Amino acid sequence: MSSSSSFSSLSDSSLSGAAPSHPLTPYGWDADRASAFARYDAQGLVPGRVVRVDRGQCDVATPEGVVRADTEFVVPRDPMKVVCTGDWVAVDPEGGDPRYVRTLLPRRSAFVRSTSSKRSEGQVLATNVDHIIICVSLAAELDLGRIERFLALAHASASGDALLHDAGFSAESAAQPLVVLTKADLVPDAVGLSYLVSDVEAAAPGAQVVAVSARDGDGTDVLRAIVAGGTSVLLGQSGAGKSTLANALVGTDVMEVQTVRDMDGKGRHTTTTRNLFVLPGGGVLIDTPGLRGVGLYDAEAGVEQAFAEIAELAERCRFHDCGHQVEPGCAVLAAVDDGSLPQRRLDSYRKLVRENRRLAARTDARLRDEMRKVWKQRGQQGRAAMEAKRGRPMR
């Protein structure tokens, strides 16, 4: 059977409800992928999914097996379009030496963070994912602010990718965030664990929170059921237990594991590349190196979604452009005063909004001017409020 006829049979079987038989189905191949690849199939190219990228080369899962391919022809100036683990690509047919990746298929989602450089560039960590699993170790004190940062980026997983916009995918294509509290066996009692889960749930509205012990197997059945539907990526700091969790889900030791340092409880960078695995119970898993920094990138919509309750309160503010600082009639500040909104939550929201705006302003002169006007206006409002408290009119 030719490759084109096999793609057609995949589409037909998917529509009819029959079990798909394409060799790449375990990697997530479906009728939509077949449709997107049709034009390249006519050129004699072969479909594949990137399982690892390493110094200008990548391993690609194809219908004939995993092959090594060169990325020379897909090295754009835009870092958002660089080949990444999870990408679907078109590669040269068998016989070429070396074989080349010729193009990327449209991405459905992408997890992007800002780089550590001063050039306001984004770094794509994983693509075409359905679940973003934020791993948080219970061996250390919970950092709710860091969890909120991850969630903001996770919610922005669709809006941050240029290829996603080009493909016409909607926000519904964005990956869904999930917070996994690893090393739950280190919490001595069930009540204490339930409190920790509740704290994280309060900081992660709309996201599922699961406590897991890869050592004892507690919670792994719930996680397996979730990741069986689509592609999942593991994200978190070094020492969060990502590699141990990956081994538990894959069912074998595919990732090397090291213990955390006793002196500070921090993990070592065991994983140095992003790797994609097919799970025995269905689904695909991408493991990533530990992240020291998680800078926001084009995450305005993600911040608003991560702090949905603040966005909802803001709709009831007296002024539509309320900054939730000192403005009269501010519903957000009122919620802080009556205790329904924690001050910590508002502080975290303000911090992420400021960071995202600063990053955007680096490349947008008009936005920089608008921000200066807002800062000047808020400064005047703050001084007026202080003078009013002192009973003196503003000069």
For residue 19, is pLDDT > 50?
no
pLDDT of residue 291: 79
pLDDT in tens, 168-226: 444 445 688 999 999 999 998 999 999 999 999 999 998 999 999 988 889 999 999 99
- Whether 47 and 88 have beta carbons less than 8 Å apart is answered as yes
Q: pLDDT category, 16, cuts 50, 70, 90?
A: very low
Work out the burial of residue 259: count CB atoms within 10 Å of its CB; fewer than 13 is exposed, 13-18 middle, 19 or more buried. exposed
Q: pLDDT category, 238, cuts 50, 70, 90?
A: confident
- Whether 140 and 196 have beta carbons less than 8 Å apart is answered as no
Give the residue with greater pLDDT, 264 vs 229.
229
Residue 207 CA, distance from chain mean position: 13
pLDDT of residue 255: 67
Identify the H or E element spanning 144.
helix 144-155
Identify the H or E element spanning 38.
helix 31-41
Least confident interval from 34-38, 60-64, 315-319, 389-393: 389-393
For residue 114, is pLDDT > 50?
yes
Give the residue with greater pLDDT, 139 vs 173.
139
Give the residue with greater pLDDT, 354 vs 341.
341
pLDDT of residue 300: 85
Residue among 29, 236, 239 nearest 125 (CA):
236
Tokens of 256: 């090397």
Other Cβ atoms within 10 Å of 360 Cβ, number = 18
Q: Where are the alpha helices (DSSP H) in 298-342?
A: 300-306, 308-314, 331-337
First to last CA, the chain: 84
Least confident interval from 307-316, 323-332, 372-381: 372-381
Least confident interval from 152-166, 193-207, 266-280: 152-166
Whole-angstrom distance, CA of residue 141 vs CA of residue 200: 12
Tokens of 56: 């200008």
Q: Indicate the residue type of 381.
A: Q
Whole-angstrom distance, CA of residue 277 vs CA of residue 247: 10
CA distances 36 to 39, 41, 280, 340, 357, Å, are: 7, 10, 27, 48, 35
CA dihedral 352, 357, 358, 360 (to 10 degrees): 130
Percent of the chain with pLDDT strictly greater than 70: 75
pLDDT of residue 6: 35
pLDDT of residue 43: 95
Percent of the chain with pLDDT strictly greater than 90: 53
Least confident interval from 15-24, 106-115, 330-339: 15-24
Q: pLDDT category, 146, cuts 50, 70, 90?
A: very high
| Mean pLDDT over the full length of the chain | 81
Q: pLDDT category, 251, cuts 50, 70, 90?
A: confident
For residue 158, is pLDDT > 60?
no
- Average pLDDT of 215-241? 91
Torsion sign over Cα 245, 249, 250, 251: positive
pLDDT of residue 356: 85
pLDDT of residue 55: 83
Q: What is the DSSP string of 238-249?
A: TTSSHHHHHHHH
**Does the pTM of the predicted model rise above 0.95?**
no
pLDDT in tens, 321-352: 898 988 899 999 999 999 999 999 999 999 99
Whole-angstrom distance, CA of residue 166 vs CA of residue 99: 27
Residues 6+ positions from 327 with CB-CB distance below 8 Å: 317, 318, 319, 333, 381
- Whether 87 and 284 have beta carbons less than 8 Å apart is answered as no
Whole-angstrom distance, CA of residue 352 vs CA of residue 166: 27
- Average pLDDT of 103-123? 78
Whole-angstrom distance, CA of residue 161 vs CA of residue 289: 21
- Tell whether omega for the bond before 76 is within 30 degrees of 0, i.e. cis: no
Other Cβ atoms within 10 Å of 54 Cβ, number = 12
264 φ, ψ (degrees, to nearest 5): -135, 0
pLDDT of residue 230: 93
